[in-house]
Amino acid sequence: MKHRFKRIGNKDMPSYSKNTLICKLNITTLGPILVNKTELELKWVEAKYPEIRGGFYAPTNCRARHKVAVLVPYRNRKRNLIIFLNHMHTFLKKQLLEYRIFVIEQTGTKKFNKGSLYNVGFLESQRYGDWHCLVFHDVDLLPLDERILYSCPRKPTHMSSAVESNGYRLQYNQLFGGVTALTPAQFEAVNGYSNLYWDWGAEDDDMFIRLQASRFPVLRYGQSIARYAALPHGNSSRNGMRY
């Protein structure tokens, strides 16, 4: 994947003094949390987080150890998106991350193509900073435990192994969808996601195969921690090539 776009995110970077220390996260303060699935207004969420501009946040009292781009493919799920933003900003801020949430929207009437949206999101994210890792995130999944760290693992990581709608059980061993994390170098090494899968599913199975073919071991959070709530939404067409 080639980066041909002008960098435009530097203006959002906070100004730190030379004496500003690196952030230290106290893991003992993290634990299970609740999810508010109540329908919200976007203006209310914006007023709640006045320090966030364009989906970007960085701690002001210390320098973030990890810089994370969160990529969210999206179409016609506004209710889910607003609840997602309200939950995730609180969640990510507590982990003392420098992050930006990218919402990549598909318009028009063609079938949904999540792989293409992730590829577009990756290229766009590179205009806004040098990210240590990328988190690929479904808009209808919300973490239920702060110990699911959205920092930067050294190996590709499947973060959502226990999802509410699946009875908090892993569906199959090759699953690499829902919420996953890769470094930019890993994403480029496998040439990103396939653009060939339409409707819901299969692009994540293809990514697992790409990672295996490139000999990247896949890590997975334990199901006692990697628990995610699922937001309700209308049914999407299922890709016949999905497991």
Do the domain assignments include residue 15? Answer: no
Do the domain assignments include residue 79? Answer: yes
* Close Cβ partners of 54 (under 8 Å, ≥ 6 residues apart): 12, 100
Total tally of structural domains belonging to the chain: 1
pLDDT at position 3, please?
Answer: 55
Do the domain assignments include residue 179? Answer: yes
Q: What is the pLDDT of residues 195-241, one digit of tens each?
A: 999 987 789 999 999 999 999 999 998 889 999 999 996 555 555 55
Contact between residue 167 and residue 204 where contact means Cβ atoms under 8 Å apart: no
Where residue 202 sits, what CATH number does that domain have? Answer: 3.90.550.10
Do the domain assignments include residue 141? Answer: yes
Do the domain assignments include residue 137? Answer: yes
Residue 63, pLDDT above cutoff 60: yes
Give the structural domain span for 57.
31-230
Do the domain assignments include residue 109? Answer: yes
Do the domain assignments include residue 243? Answer: no
Q: What is the pLDDT of residues 102-145, one digit of tens each?
A: 999 999 989 999 999 999 999 999 999 899 999 999 999 999 99
pLDDT at position 103, please?
Answer: 98
Do the domain assignments include residue 50? Answer: yes
pTM, two decimal places: 0.92
Q: How confident is the model at residue 175 (pLDDT cuts 50, 70, 90)?
A: very high
